Amino acid sequence: MTVNDSRDIIKATQTKWTRSAWLTDLVKYGQDTNAPYCKRNFVLLIPKFSFNNRRGKTPKKTPRRGNQNKTKDPVEVYSRVRPLEDSNGEVCLKILSSTAVQLTPPLTSHAYKNGNYKESTHTFKYVFGPESSQKAIFDNIALALIDDLLHGKNGLLFMYGITNSGKTHTMQGTTQEGGVLPRCLDVIFNSLGDLQAKKYVFRPDRANGMDVQTEADAMMERQKKDLMPLTQRTTSTPRRKEKEDFSNIVRVPDTTRVNGLVEDNMYSVFVSYVEIYNNYIYDLLEEMPDTISAK
């Protein structure tokens, strides 16, 4: 399968192809030596999924107001174009409009050397140019998913691109220009405010649902956790040896908030943050004690 634009991806999700199947084809397309991309001008694909189904024991949320008959594509694919590393370098990508780009095989590609000099046009939900800010990326891509999340809907957002295409920068950003991930957390906690339940009132039941405890039971569990030694609270997950000092870092938070939450509801936030490195899965939120060498 050759992925020409975002409509091919949407079509793939609506037919018998699985997500893993078309993702594999995307990888093959990106690694093809004849594929029309330039090593100096990277394109980052940002697929976004929106799910309306609800499963498990989690109570149903109050339905959102608005036009419920409006149809919406289940998958939206955005493209972010990274600036050239060398301003005098060869340009092989041209933004035609806010939804389309044109690719031209570079002079060093096999396609050009074999005489297959063919330009191709690819369309997306939206194309963000090199001048696009982190704030613009978040507001146009992720903010609607956070709004849906706080109103009881599921969603998925991930970055896809070749090495050095800007995935980490878009997701994490910097302290002054936060990426999608820290901005999502900012908006969630800005919106919840006093509606956030205290710790251990809600507990995952490991079956895609939640168990609800009384305030007294939750308080007892919090006290028990605070008194427990740190070594008993950690798992055997391996950790990377290097440490970073974040004490002097001042982060600029996103002040956006979602309105219209039901004040009779209580909310609890559960976050997993892992890294896959050298065939190990690292829990980046795990608390680790400071080990003291015997020698």
Whether residue 10 is predicted with pLDDT greater than 60 in this model: the reply is no
Residue 107 belongs to some domain of the structure: yes
Task: Report whether 293 belongs to an annotated binding site.
Answer: no
Is 86 within a domain? yes
Residues 6 or more apart in contact with residue 255 via CB below 8 angstroms: 186, 190
- At 26 the pLDDT is 35
pLDDT in tens, 240-276: 555 566 667 788 999 999 999 988 888 999 888 888 8
Residue 13 has pLDDT above 60, yes or no: no
- Closest by Cα among 172, 163, 101, 108 to 130: 101
- Residue 87 assigned ligand-binding role: no
**What digits encode the pLDDT tens for the residues 221-232?**
888 888 876 555
Q: Is pLDDT at 20 greater than 80 in this prediction? A: no
Percentage of the chain lying above the pLDDT 90 cut? 30
What's the domain count of the chain?
1
User: What pLDDT was estimated at residue 121?
Assistant: 94
- In this structure, is residue 291 part of a structural domain? no
Residue 148 belongs to some domain of the structure: yes
Q: How many residues does the chain have?
A: 295
In the three-class reduction of DSSP (H, G, I as helix; E, B as strand; rest coil), residue 188 is classed as: helix
pLDDT at site 235 = 52
What is the rounded average pLDDT for all residues in the chain? 76
Q: Are 49 and 157 in contact (CB under 8 A)?
A: yes
Residue 175 annotated as lining a ligand binding site: no
- Give the C-alpha separation, 295 to 292, whole Å: 9
CA atoms of 85 and 279, how far apart (whole Å): 31
**Per-residue b or e along 64-90, where b marks 16 or more CB atoms closer than 10 Å to that residue's CB:** eeeeeeeeeeebbbbbbbbebeeeeee
Our CA dihedral for 194, 65, 258, 283, rounded to 10 degrees, sits at 80
Instruction: Find the distance separating the first CA and the last CA of the chain, reported in whole Å.
Output: 59
The reply to whether 178 sits in an annotated binding site is no
Q: Residue 63 above 50 pLDDT?
A: yes
Categorize the per-residue pLDDT at 293 as very low, low, confident or very high, splitting at 50, 70 and 90: very low
> pLDDT (tens digit, 9 = 90+) per residue, 208-217?
788 888 888 8
pLDDT digits (tens, 9 = 90+) for 142-171: 999 999 999 989 999 989 888 889 999 999
Residue 179 lies in a domain: yes
* pLDDT in the model for residue 174: 92
User: Could you tell me the pLDDT band of residue 47, with boundaries at 50, 70 and 90?
Assistant: confident
Q: Give the C-alpha distances (Å, rounded to integers) separating 193 from 174, 206, 244, 263, 272.
A: 25, 27, 30, 11, 21
Q: What is the pLDDT of residue 215?
A: 87
Distance CA 22, CA 28 (A): 10
Given a contact cutoff of 8 angstroms between Cβ atoms, the answer to whether 269 and 285 are in contact is no
The enclosing domain of 162 has a CATH number of 3.40.850
Task: Assess if residue 290 is contained within a domain.
Answer: no
Tell whether 257 is covered by a domain. yes
User: What is the reported pLDDT for 25?
Assistant: 35
43 touches 79 (CB < 8 A):
yes
The annotation status of 67 as a binding-site residue, yes or no, is: no
Residue 77 has pLDDT above 90, yes or no: yes
Residues 6 or more apart from 91 whose CB is under 8 A from it?
A: 38, 40, 41, 84
Give the domain range for residue 113: 6-283
- Is 24 part of any known ligand binding site? no
Residue 66 assigned ligand-binding role = no
Residue 288 in any domain: the answer is no
Which one has a higher pLDDT value, 295 or 65? 65
